[in-house]
A and B are shown apart, each in its own frame.
Chain A
Amino acid sequence: MADKPRVAIFDFTGCEGCELNQLNFEDQLLDILAHVDIVEWREAMDGQVDEYDIAFVEGSLSTPDCINRINEIRRKTKVLVALGACAVQGGVNGMKNTRPIDEVRQEVYGDDKYLFPTLPALALSSVVKVDYNVRGCPMTQIEFLKVFTSLVMGKEPIEPDHSVCVDCKLKENECVYEKGMICLGPVTRAGCDAHCPSFGQYCTGCRGLVSHPNLKGMEEILVEHGLSVDEAWKRLELYNANELEGVRP
């Protein structure tokens, strides 16, 4: 890749927390800016351009206009990186896919629902080729820096495929289950340094599932720790409704 890659940043349906997290690299932001040219970023600057080397894209696809825009971005960019749970796997937006879409629209906009077209919330990869992922909700900052540095140095970023439990043990955290809580760490993809368990909270599965999750085993553990089968799957679906479509009994 050229010395100073041209970087563009885009957002689709989501909370823009991942983009905000980029502005939150206060200590590294000036160094990052020294290594790339940011050529398009609606949230932080004016203007649009015709091509770029790396596109970082946040949010899931949920309207006809989103589909057109992501295709245009794919045409203009050499590398496409999905930023955060909404872009990587659909994220919390996927929860609306578990219910009939008309019912959902009726509930929020009432009889005015026909004013606003909507589709099931999709991961970017279900419409275009995604080259790399930065997972998490919000995107994991340490992972963003790893992927960013690799791309700037012309190296291949490595995506972890072990569970959060491994990271948690490495940090010598007390197991969340030992505290009488439930946790989705066993089936959730690591790379976050077990951040939530380290702050006393259970893993909510924001980084998506490992590639071969033992979901039956996960269900059993959750039920053993007091959840109903329905509640267990609801918890798993919080960020991963798209990945679990057709899997849930």
Chain B
Amino acid sequence: MSTATGTNLNIKVKHLTRVEGHGNIVVNMKEGVLEKAQLEIVEAPRYFEAMLKGRSFHEAAIITSRICGICSLGHQITSLKATEQALGLEISEQTVQLRKLLIHGATMQSNLLHAYFLAAPDFLKVGSVFPLVETHPEVVVRALRMKRLANDIGDVVSGRAVHPITPVPGGFTRIPTAGELKELKRRLAEDMYPDLLATVETLKSLAGAIPQFERETEYISLRSDDDYAMYDGDICSTDTGRVPDSEYLKMSNEFVVPHSTSKHAKVNRSSFMVGALARWNNNHDRLGELAHTAADALGLKPGCCNPYMNTIAQVVEAAHCAIDSIAIIDKLLADGLKDEQPNQEPTKFGTGIGSTEVPRGILYHEYSYDRQGRVTAANCIIPTGQNLANIDDDMKKLVPEIIDKSKEEITLHLEMLVRAYDPCISCSVHMLDVDFIE
């Protein structure tokens, strides 16, 4: 299959491995002209927007969390925000702080899972994390310990890290105890902190395996005056600046393409990028000391437009999430935990928008409700869907630049590119394959 000599190239990677969901990479170059370089999304369509119609506001977040196991917390929180805005449900400061803590746990777990289990095998030239159990036992044990702690934040605060239980419209069905939060804080300080430093050292030794590739790109993420925006903020583009999230449709512009069951998106150019690298580029000034130390050590600079560096930005974020989780727990404990009941008495029935930064980028949910509190319209705009057009554009620039390499190397570079985006295809279809066509 290796006949890439520069003029004719045909690559088809069916059901790309180590990504969430089903996609194919297809690249077709004929006599030196690139005819096709795209990520085909072949995940079976889910039809969530249609499933939501007629369902009670109590169920909207339960249903949309099932869009994706990996991003279930992100979908749930975004859904709750949209529902609360539509129904005029006020929430307490304690609820906001607990949600921010949950987002940190979910972001750490997802970013570390991607860096250690899905991306690192490429840096070490193995097919999965499993051979590393034999060759690098201390790294695997560390990765599992970090993931466990990140998941424990979800288990303690939301009842379960995958498809959380306690977050409901208006608040929480159970408030964690002070003792539970103190124990999480102790482990974050005593275990997570040194493990993060060790992670940075491990990645530093592997940084040579990250391909050098740059393409100037529009980056879109939330931005807030108060913190490194994850839970809330304005929509911010590196091209055009900040707008409120009520303008989300303009900032995402979904459209259907034949090679993808997930819709694509564009704003000011043919494509844009969301996710950890976009958040870093927009909000690096909101990060604290540990995150900046990690970024410096790993060569991540503001204005970075190498998509392969997204994995590095994820690790930098994990450092931020750990430190900020400790700060949030301190605040919750200082304010005193209150055994509040969720506020579920609607004050109106209208339309609401929720926007949140989830591990793969900015996520939007919008719902309208009738006077019985049933969903009449729903729209979910997924980060991976927003990134798909950008991945295609990256491939179109990348393939001619590396065309002198062997077909195996080109394929590996393309697979690593797609994995760097940490695509979540179940989400985007509410899909991913790599195909090269000769």
Binding site for B on A (CB under 8 A): 12-21, 23-24, 26-27, 29-30, 33, 38, 41-47, 62-63, 65-66, 91-93, 95-96, 99, 103-105, 107-110, 112, 115-116, 118, 137-138, 195-196, 198-201, 204, 231, 234-235, 238
Contacts and interface: CB of A to CB of B under 8 A. Distances in A.
A18 B72 CA distance: 12
A24 B117 contact: no
Nearest to A17: B69
A115 B147 CA distance: 39
Interface in B210-245: none
Contacts of B396: none
Contact of A96 (B17, B47, B69, B165): B47
A105 B261 contact: no
Nearest to A98: B51
B56 A234 contact: yes
26 contacts: A13-B44, A15-B66, A15-B68, A17-B72, A26-B147, A30-B133, A33-B130, A42-B17, A45-B17, A45-B128, A45-B129, A63-B44, A65-B42, A65-B44, A66-B44, A92-B51, A96-B51, A103-B50, A104-B50, A104-B51, A199-B174, A201-B165, A201-B173, A204-B62, A231-B56, A234-B55
Contacts of A38: 130
A124 to B, nearest CB: 14
A201 B66 contact: no
Given A26-B147, A195-B165, A196-B159, A116 B261 contact: yes
Contacts of B348: none
Contacts of B261: 115-116
B129 A44 contact: yes
Interface residues of B, number: 60
A63 B261 CA distance: 12
B18 A46 contact: yes
Given A42-B15, A196-B165, A234-B54, A27 B69 contact: no
B166 A24 contact: no
A23 B46 contact: no
Contacts of A198: 159
A15 B67 contact: yes
Nearest to A231: B56
Contact of B46 (A13, A42, A110, A115): A13
A15 B117 contact: no
Interface string B43-61: 1111101110111100100
Given A13-B43, A17-B72, A41-B128, 13 more contacts: A15-B68, A17-B69, A26-B144, A26-B147, A29-B144, A30-B133, A43-B20, A44-B118, A46-B128, A107-B49, A115-B256, A195-B160, A238-B63
A14 B426 contact: yes
B66 A20 contact: no
B144 A199 contact: no
A45 B159 CA distance: 29
B70 interface: yes
A198 B120 CA distance: 38
Nearest to A91: B66
Contacts of B74: none
B168 interface: yes
A131 B260 CA distance: 34
A15 B66 CA distance: 6
B163 A138 contact: yes
B21 interface: yes
B390 interface: no
